[in-house]
Structure 1
Amino acid sequence: MLEWKESALWDGAHKVLGEFDLSVRLDGETEKRLEPVGRTAGRGSDRLGGYIETAVAYRDADDTVSVRLTVRGYRNTALAFAAAETRNENGHGAQRTFAPKDALVVRAKQPRQPLRLMANYQHKDWWTRPWFGSSFAGLPERTQSLLWKDGGGYRHLLPVTGPTMKTELGGGEAASGLAGGAGGESAASLAIRVSSHIGGLDRFDTLLFALSVADEPYALPGRNAEAALDALGRPAPPRSRRTYPELLDYLGWCSWDAFYHQVSEEGLLEKAAEFKALGLPVRWVMIDDGWSEVRDGKLASFGADGQKFPQGLGHAIEALKERFGIRWVGVWHTIAGYWSGIDPESGIARRLGGSLYTTASGKMIPYPEAGRGFGFWHAWHGELRRQGVDFVKVDSQSAVTNFLKYERSVGEASAAAHEALEASVALHFGGTMINCMGMASENVWHRPLSAVSRSSDDFVPQEKRGFPEHALQNGYNSYYHGAFYWGDWDMFWTMNHDDLQNAVLRAVSGGPVYFSDAPGRTNPELLRPLVYRDGRIVRCDRPANPTEDCLLRDPTAEPLPLKLWNTAGGSGIVASFHIWDGQSAVEGGIGPADVPGLAAETGKYVLYDVLGRGFRIAAAEEKAPLRLKAGACAIHQLTPVRPGGATPIGLADKFVPAHAIAGVREWERSLFVTLREGGELLLVCDDAPERAAANGVPAAVAAKGDGLYAVDCGACEGEVTVEIVKGGA
């Protein structure tokens, strides 16, 4: 493991990233290479602890541009900063200013061959996906997170978008012909690109990236995010200091894939009646795109479309709540009001002109200053709240940069948009919102309060091969995105060619669970393993991540299972999927080592096959064989074996059985298990239990296999305490 030391801080950074070359781009000029001209070193301390710091000064041959590149090293984390300025003879003549794009490029020549790497890059303006390789060469442009492993362990590089500038990674382009330099760029180089998206800057000072090293990979993104956010002055909290919204702990339904733009009061009430008839505890409804009054792709009023909601939005919401027991209703809108902004001929524009801004291309959007933009959101959200709306889904967030390119810096534009929006959401909806189409780093780094954000492109039920990409994006994006937010892994259909796979994916996700089947299409039996009787979802402890054996490999291109791990109720959870392009089976292994930090006093674990209802006892380093046919999935629970001969697994009818266990204690020969609700409690025992009771009432015990037993406490409502008197005394 690399530790930063004063005598070798700069050299230590080079050991990880390689030698640094710097170039700048000025407005109207070609890329210009800079040369190092001086170096200083020192020590200091801040809220992150003690650090050592090395700074290297760079200039061009004409002494018209200077950059100071500083690396500040803590124990196993480093922060890199850049301060750049141009030299102008006076303030009134033509000025040398930095180009909006690639104002600064730091090239690091790969010092040694990574064994493997995984990058998360913007393949669309609003989404990221993983890329896999074994060299910096070929690294996609617009990379927002880079993890690799070499002989020294794992390294994670997290580019930062600060108050003004945005850092992105890429690799593989030629650098020959730079002004002020000669020669070509190594084919295995990493390009660290810094942009503002505006012109006229003659200086900037920015945090470029955070870099951490460790023997294991999973703590690195969180460590980098915490360090960088602290260095930025805490404009936003990491996920560890955000609050997951209570209502998203319950089962929901969304109108989008059921009705698309044809959502209406009639359709919503028809679907709600179906929930009631099926006895499904759906507790929230999201009214997605299609409800608003729009004109030419722009928001025309704060009210609902009169044809779809003839008695108004409030009437539909009241009916959902009063007639069908829906507790919470949310509505959708974009961060600009609607996809192309706000209609400049609307009453909104006339009443709230001071809170709106017209871009150079003629689009009207909320004003890109938090104080002024808040006025628009406060007016709209106040009206929605009076109609009974409880929360919002805010779409098209990464379009902020597109609306304001060359008018506001990328950091400034996004920070203002999110601050104004979230202040209003906090005031009117208690901070409850789902962020969507907002995976660009400027969005990720600048949300001050909200806790849940989409982590993939849309679920598209009609796509026959849609699940592999959907699972791939959610699982691998969560590696870095989970340091900032709980991921929303999107809605799904309970009646679909990928229905079981999608349900299992949500079970392990750690985020919201909601579906979007049209009227007459709901399969309640697929939903019940995901929820309790009161509608609360069986939610794992954190955003799921790929297991280490597939973290740096592409399971769509290689014949191996995609395995995602999480924890719940003191157990490890591993969901496995066949997403390989081929049609033959994929094979792998599964064991306790797949779940980091899972410790057993006895050194043994119950490996329970949730879908197959079988188990085996596994040692800490043991791997049981795993084989999945095309389109198949599995979910396993790894529960540490308890001393004393009896280990509770949890409720048999849940995809994550251990989540139901609220507490376990022993007294003499009895094991007491407190469950969140009644059902069939599974246990693995050395000897058959002598007897059992649920809330003091005798309960039947049935043998389910060699050493697997079930206690029937299904008649108990609410929390139940089960006593199992051990046998074999």
Structure 2
Amino acid sequence: MPVKKQKGISFGYCDLSSGQRVYPGVMPDLLPEQLPPAQTVHPLSADGKMFARITCDPPLGQATTIGRGRDAVEFSVLLETNAPSLVDDQDISVNLWHNHGNHYDWAELPLKQSNAFKDVLHVHSSHPVTRRWYTATLPGKPKHLHPVSFTVKFKIGTESGWKWVRDASGIGDGDLHYLREESEKGFSDFFPHASKQFTIQPHRPQTTDGKLWSLTSPASPAKGDDSGYSKHSLGVPASFTRYFALVRLWSPWLAPRHGKVKFEVDKDAVLVSFLRADGLHVVCLAISGVGNVLSVFTHDGDGNVIVQARNDLETEGKSQVLVAVADEFEVANAAVMYHARRMVMGQQSTTGELKAEEEAFNAKKDEMHGEWLEEWYDGLTYCTWNGLGQDLTEQKIFSALDSLKKEGITISNLIIDDNWQSLAEGETQFDRGWLEFEANKGGFPRGLKATVNDIRSQHPEINHIAVWHAILGYWGGISPDGKIANEYKTTTVTKEEGVAAGDMLVVDASDAQRMYDDFYSFLRNAGIDAVKTDAQFFLDMIVQAPARRALTIEYQDAWTLAHLRHFSSRAISCMSQSPQILFHSQLPTNKPRLLVRNSDDFFPEVPASHPWHIFCNAHNSLLTQHLNVLPDWDMFQTSHPWAGFHAAARCVSGGPIYFTDYPEQHDIALINAMTGKTTRGKTVILRPHTVGKSLNAYVGYKEQALLRVGTYVGFSRTGTSIIGLFNCSSRPLSELIRLADFPGTEAGRYLIRSFGGQISPLMERGEKAAFVGVDVDVQGWEILAAHPVREFEIKSGKVAFANLGLLGKMTGAAAVVNSDVYVEDNGRLRVWTSLKALGVLGLYISGLSRRSIDSDLMVMIQGKPIARECVAAKGKVLELDIEAAWTKGGYKAGWSNEVSIEVFVH
């Protein structure tokens, strides 16, 4: 299929003249360039059959912060070779090169071979290799004020010369940033040349640590139809070495940008963070959606940070910026977001918006009779967009649902996407306006209600059915010839150059709430109980200042009140990462969390888009984790070459999972790895409890490093920490993943388990060998889980225990609702687990090989013994096939969907 290209547009639509899907925005100039293929190993022979590879901790190519009180840094270097018989240990030399003593002079530090790492787990090792570990300590803090840079070189044999890691892998120097002893610093220590136009006010941050300032500057008033614009310079940030920014890719979407030395971004930024030479993080947030002023960061040719404001008011406004400083990025990031929420909710409280929204939801909540909103978040969802195409009909929907049922795929939610509405004719979708509430007669001749009734009668397993619509009606707004234009007051607005420039008819702000109330009443009567509201950025594309200040807030509030009143907040907000929407609608926490699309679309036919899609979502979540939303990483296809990559990313995202397969093209095994069946036959996703986000804010897309997405399941100390690893580069990557890298891990013992089932030795944070090695091929991924281990003294001796959750599931720990383990008075160990889905439960029990399943263990489900064939011991893991046992035993679900398992260990 040919792809039409047009700069400045980044979403797909159907070209009605050709019937083809168009992806005008997935352009090479919009996507970071993929690196060309390169060697990842050092050749040791002319034919290339012998090779060596270096992996280092702390990692090369990245910045590592050394905490206060640490006077030495231990280096662990892994040398892998595939020629063990041709080299002796004494013929190998591995040296660390660094500028610890003097910033401008490098010194050599020989590393010594160590046997302390012989039991380290290596996941996905792609070659039969011999591993040798080398260590060295870099003592004391550097005398100079700059970060310490380092790299590694090695030599094998007397005739082979020294080989530098950078030469083969392209991985640059690593950096050590030493946190210095705390000293009183003011704002001018971080931005010494800020404009006098800023009024700077210190605040006490809501975080446990750090500093916080608010900055206000004048925003020029609008004149007639023209918004007012103003710029003020914060100056060059002092002493920074790297930066991370979230920029406006264009009006609807955010995207990450990275850099070093000089600050410059290709798009306006909403958030910018600077890593300083002293290890401190300076996070800057531009506030929008308050007082009709939109604020962003840009730059000039000298690397100054510029605050730019657009004011739609006819009086002078205020541009507002927050700046926080802390030892950790996440602390500074949280400080600016928490204070922004306080500002926005304070302003909305005075206008009565918060009270109106709370009343709208509470009125609907009374009708829910205890229904869990989580059923909407946690159900497996099918979307019609890519799978069924844009020439949508009820028959295509029926056929797709029948195909799913035939394959044994049970969905909980259905999204009827674009092109179900009644629309006027036009050359492109941007020329077509919305006519009336009822579905188009060509695709839905019996009306929307009849279609929905048939879906619900033939597929009672579907809990919720959503329909798509644009915030202003359709891509072309409202048709002047339709029922909607006759029923409601309308106005004409002009959209700026880009995706759909020109005039568009919309329902006037004065009638927006009535229109939404009527529309959603119609949908409810038709059996629809959820919506996906797209193209919300159109509110930001309006040119005229009077229309912007009349429509931007009013439409957001009208939509919010409508989905709260009619659908109990079962809504998906899409193309809505415009700053005014992020802050006004998505930041306040006075209502249930909204599902919000977290990045640009999934483009199945554009190969370069897939790694970037995951990278972009993981970094956007660094901001959206603090909004009152669940980030939606978009739909994907299970029968796609990148299906596993996308599936793993959705599982660790902490958000919903939608798929959009073509009929009869499904990967059942992949779907089963993402989901589980409840005791009532419903399919649920196994969603972690925290939002998945990048763990390396300052590592750019072009750098040779695995994307690490961290999330967490359960309570503090007893929960499971999860890291999704994704190779977004064009070469295989090998890294060491420390236990300390797993978010939420604390003091105590842990084991690390891969999705494929490999288990590490027990370890504690701070131990020399507290990490695992991971090899990930191009287009590859892995999911690692750090499970807390508890030790007990029972009658038969000491036993170590860990609950691994459901095996064979990408985030199987999320199936565990509750778990408890203790020693009974009779000296046996009792393990109790409550699961929200069926599957194979894994329990790590040390000394399992010495125990008899028949005489030393007893397993019960819902208080009844489990079938013997459903219990197996594999190494140190007891595997309990709860799904098979439930089917064989004829158990019945109780008042909840949960299943209770008890295990007694003698």
Tell whether the structures are fold-level matches, with TM greater than 0.5. yes
Structure 1: which amino acid aligns with 2:218? Answer: A
Q: Is the 8 A contact 1:486 1:542 kept in 2?
A: no
Which residue in the other structure is 1:62 paired with? none
User: Deviation per CA, 1:616-641, whole angstroms, max 9, x where unpaired?
Assistant: 32331422111111111100111111
1:189 to 304, 307, 318: 304
Which residue in the other structure is 1:116 paired with? 242
User: Deviation per CA, 1:600-622, whole angstroms, max 9, x where unpaired?
Assistant: 4xx22110011244443233142
Which residue in the other structure is 1:579 paired with? 728
Distance in 1, matches of 2:224 and 2:271, equals 25
* Distance change (3 Å), C-alpha of 1:77 and 1:384: farther
1:155 to 282, 287, 293: 282
Whether 1:598 and 2:764 are equivalent positions in the alignment is: no
* Distance change (3 Å), C-alpha of 1:588 and 1:144: same
Q: Is the 8 A contact 2:437 2:522 kept in 1?
A: yes
Which residue in the other structure is 1:367 paired with? 508
Which residue in the other structure is 1:282 paired with? 411
Distance in 1, matches of 2:633 and 2:648, equals 12
Whether 1:145 and 2:271 are equivalent positions in the alignment is: yes
Distance in 2, matches of 1:157 and 1:189, equals 13
Distance in 2, matches of 1:155 and 1:320, equals 53
1:703 to 870, 873, 892: 873
Shift of 1:98: 11
SS at match of 2:450: helix
Q: Is the 8 A contact 2:291 2:317 kept in 1?
A: no
TM-score scaled to structure 1, two decimals?
0.82
Q: Is the 8 A contact 1:301 1:348 kept in 2?
A: yes
Q: Which has the larger radius of gyration?
A: 2
* Distance change (3 Å), C-alpha of 1:647 and 1:301: same
Whether 1:683 and 2:857 are equivalent positions in the alignment is: no
Distance in 2, matches of 1:324 and 1:596, equals 40
Query: Sequence identity of aligned pairs in percent?
Result: 21
Structure 2: which amino acid aligns with 1:459? Answer: F
For the aligned residues, what is the CA RMSD?
Answer: 2.6
Structure 2: which amino acid aligns with 1:74? Answer: R
Distance in 1, matches of 2:393 and 2:236, equals 56
Distance in 2, matches of 1:650 and 1:711, equals 10
Shift of 1:456: 0.8
Whether 1:166 and 2:294 are equivalent positions in the alignment is: yes
Distance in 2, matches of 1:458 and 1:111, equals 34
Distance in 1, matches of 2:546 and 2:611, equals 39
1:692 to 858, 881, 884: 858
Q: Is the 8 A contact 1:414 1:446 kept in 2?
A: no
Alignment of 1:378-527 (within 5 A): 378-409=517-548, 413-447=551-585, 449=591, 451-484=594-627, 485-527=629-671
Distance in 2, matches of 1:388 and 1:126, equals 30
Structure 2: which amino acid aligns with 1:497? Answer: P
Which residue in the other structure is 2:693 paired with? 545
Shift of 1:81: 4.2
Which residue in the other structure is 1:82 paired with? 216
Distance in 2, matches of 1:100 and 1:220, equals 36
Shift of 1:662: 2.2
Whether 1:227 and 2:393 are equivalent positions in the alignment is: no
Q: Is the 8 A contact 1:394 1:436 kept in 2?
A: yes
Which residue in the other structure is 1:203 paired with? 316
Structure 2: which amino acid aligns with 1:463? Answer: V
Q: Is the 8 A contact 1:139 1:172 kept in 2?
A: no
1:647 to 799, 802, 819: 802
SS at match of 1:646: strand
Shift of 1:244: 6.4
User: Deviation per CA, 1:153-173, whole angstroms, max 9, x where unpaired?
Assistant: 222111100231111001133
Distance in 1, matches of 2:779 and 2:900, equals 39
Runs of 4+ in structure 1 displaced over 6 angstroms? 95-99, 241-244
User: Deviation per CA, 1:291-346, whole angstroms, max 9, x where unpaired?
Assistant: 11111311111111111111111111111111112221100000110002000121
Distance in 2, matches of 1:203 and 1:98, equals 14
User: Deviation per CA, 1:384-423, whole angstroms, max 9, x where unpaired?
Assistant: 111111110010111112135433456x643222101111
Alignment of 1:43-122 (within 5 A): 58=197, 69-75=199-205, 76-82=210-216, 84=218, 103-122=229-248
Distance in 2, matches of 1:85 and 1:391, equals 39
Structure 2: which amino acid aligns with 1:543? Answer: V
Shift of 1:265: 0.5
Shift of 1:574: 0.7
Distance in 1, matches of 2:192 and 2:441, equals 62
Distance in 2, matches of 1:194 and 1:557, equals 31
* Distance change (3 Å), C-alpha of 1:99 and 1:225: farther
Distance in 1, matches of 2:190 and 2:507, equals 43
Structure 2: which amino acid aligns with 1:78? Answer: L
SS at match of 1:359: strand
Which residue in the other structure is 1:324 paired with? 459
Which residue in the other structure is 1:345 paired with? 481
1:377 to 507, 516, 529: 516
Structure 1: which amino acid aligns with 2:559? Answer: L
Shift of 1:213: 2.1
SS at match of 2:791: coil
**Structure 2: gaps (5+ residues):** 1-66, 69-182, 362-371, 427-431, 495-501, 793-799
SS at match of 1:616: coil
Distance in 2, matches of 1:135 and 1:407, equals 41
* Distance change (3 Å), C-alpha of 1:704 and 1:112: same
Whether 1:132 and 2:258 are equivalent positions in the alignment is: yes
Shift of 1:597: 2.5
Shift of 1:141: 3.2
Distance in 2, matches of 1:97 and 1:698, equals 76
SS at match of 1:261: coil
Structure 1: which amino acid aligns with 2:882? Answer: C
SS at match of 1:419: helix
Q: Is the 8 A contact 1:114 1:149 kept in 2?
A: yes
Distance in 2, matches of 1:102 and 1:71, equals 25
Distance in 2, matches of 1:456 and 1:544, equals 14
Shift of 1:96: 10
SS at match of 1:507: helix
Structure 1: which amino acid aligns with 2:823? Answer: W
Structure 2: which amino acid aligns with 1:667? Answer: V
Q: Is the 8 A contact 1:245 1:451 kept in 2?
A: no
**Structure 1: gaps (5+ residues):** 3-7, 22-35, 37-57, 59-67, 87-94, 174-186
Structure 2: which amino acid aligns with 1:359? Answer: V
Q: Is the 8 A contact 2:226 2:544 kept in 1?
A: no
* Distance change (3 Å), C-alpha of 1:614 and 1:15: same
* Distance change (3 Å), C-alpha of 1:81 and 1:623: same
Shift of 1:357: 2.5
Distance in 1, matches of 2:267 and 2:261, equals 14
Q: Is the 8 A contact 1:116 1:133 kept in 2?
A: yes
Which residue in the other structure is 1:617 paired with? 762
Distance in 2, matches of 1:221 and 1:318, equals 47
User: Deviation per CA, 1:334-380, whole angstroms, max 9, x where unpaired?
Assistant: 01100020001211111112xx32225642223335xx310111111
Q: Is the 8 A contact 2:264 2:299 kept in 1?
A: yes
Shift of 1:713: 2.7
SS at match of 1:643: strand
Distance in 2, matches of 1:266 and 1:616, equals 55
Q: Is the 8 A contact 1:120 1:129 kept in 2?
A: yes
Distance in 1, matches of 2:723 and 2:380, equals 22
Q: Is the 8 A contact 1:646 1:726 kept in 2?
A: no
Q: Is the 8 A contact 1:692 1:699 kept in 2?
A: no
Shift of 1:726: 2.9
Distance in 2, matches of 1:108 and 1:609, equals 46
SS at match of 2:542: helix
Which residue in the other structure is 2:777 paired with? 629
Which residue in the other structure is 1:13 paired with? 187
